[in-house]
Amino acid sequence: DTEVTQTPKHLVMGMTNKKSLKCEQHMGHRAMYWYKQKAKKPPELMFVYSYEKLSINESVPSRFSPECPNSSLLNLHLHALQPEDSALYLCASSPSDLLNTEAFFGQGTRLTVV
Amino acid at 62: S
CA geometry: angle 64, 70, 72, nearest 5 deg = 95
Helices and strands, counts by H and E, the chain: 0, 11
For residues 39 and 62, which CB has a smaller minimum distance to another protein in the complex?
39
**42 lines the binding site for another protein (CB under 8 A):** yes
Bridging pattern class, strands 18-25 and 87-94: unpaired
**55 lines the binding site for another protein (CB under 8 A):** yes
Bridging pattern class, strands 31-37 and 87-94: antiparallel
Contact with another protein (CB under 8 A): which of 8, 98, 112, 114? 98
**38 lines the binding site for another protein (CB under 8 A):** no
Tell me how far, at minimum, the Cβ of 81 lies from another protein, in Å: 22
Tell me how far, at minimum, the Cβ of 103 lies from another protein, in Å: 6
Q: Which uninterrupted H or E stretch holds 49?
A: strand 44-50
Cβ atoms of 46 and 35 closer than 8 Å: yes
Tell me how far, at minimum, the Cβ of 76 lies from another protein, in Å: 16
**31 lines the binding site for another protein (CB under 8 A):** yes
Query: Applying CB under 8 A, which residues contact another protein?
Result: 31, 33, 40-45, 48, 55-56, 58, 90, 92, 94, 97-103, 105-108
